[in-house]
Amino acid sequence: IQQRQFNKASNSTYCIFMVNKPYAITCSVVAFYIPFLLMALAYHRIYESRGNHQEHQANLQEPRGNVQEPRQHGPDQHSSHRMRTETKAAKTLCIIMGCFCLCWAPFFVTNIVDPFVNYSVPSKLWTAFLWLGYINSGLNPFLYAFLNKAFRRAFLIILCCGAERHRRPSMLGPPGPCSTTTINGSTHVLR
């Protein structure tokens, strides 16, 4: 600690935060590894149930003795639309989780490793890994905007101060002083 604190390159106001091994492990497990494991299990269950749903749909579409022409606007079309929507939602969640893990994993791996290597991880590497984690928070709005049409529309309305070109046409006519938008079935008032 004294070597770091009284380094010629540092100033006297530099605050050093060093943790012992049990604290580093406990903190990292509670803050990152357990949530990561729970998210991975949840996404695995989502993909597993999606696969079972696809098998079920394939079994329903198999001909049973006589050949029938597929219906154009029946339940099969509804289920395929639902499946596409579920697939897109699962991909969106997977991309968001992947970015979260890629951004925070270096910090939390280093947080556990550093006490075991006698605190020899360079401070610049610590800072880089910490800022990579912080970048994840700034990245999320752009990921949601890129991957979700409803979020993108609401994001554009907010950023463009309610510009008309980003709104859906309304059956009620032009908006008054306050405008509303519908996102995933709920109405929001924009001022």
Measured between alpha carbons, how far is 127 from 106 in angstroms, rounded to an integer? 11
Q: Is residue 79 part of a domain?
A: no
Rounded to 5°, angle at Cα 112 from 106 and 115: 125
Q: Is residue 41 part of a domain?
A: yes
Q: Is residue 2 part of a domain?
A: no
Res 22: pLDDT: 94
Q: How many domains does the chain have?
A: 1
CATH number, domain of 36, equals 1.20.1070.10
In sequence order, the β-bridge partners of residue 187 are: 182
Res 5: pLDDT: 55
Res 30: pLDDT: 96
pLDDT per residue, tens digit, the chain (191 aa), is: 555 556 666 555 556 677 899 999 999 999 999 999 998 898 888 778 766 666 656 566 555 555 554 545 555 666 777 777 777 777 888 888 889 999 999 999 999 999 999 888 998 999 999 999 999 989 988 888 788 777 778 777 887 765 555 555 544 455 554 566 666 666 666 55
Which DSSP helix (H) or strand (E) runs through 100?
helix 75-116
Report DSSP letters for 8-74, one per residue: TTS-TT-------HHHHHHHHIIIIIHHHHHHHHHHHHHHHHHHHHHHHHHHHHS-BSB--PPPSSS
Query: For 7, which DSSP code?
Result: -
Q: Is residue 128 part of a domain?
A: yes
Domain range for 107 is 21-52+89-159
Q: Is residue 173 part of a domain?
A: no
In sequence order, the β-bridge partners of residue 190 are: 179
Residues 6+ apart with CB under 8 A from 106: 129, 132, 133
Q: Is residue 168 part of a domain?
A: no
Measured in residues, the chain has a length of: 191
Residue type, 126: W
Res 62: pLDDT: 56
Query: For 79, which DSSP code?
Result: H
Q: Which tokens hold the place of 9? A: 């390159």
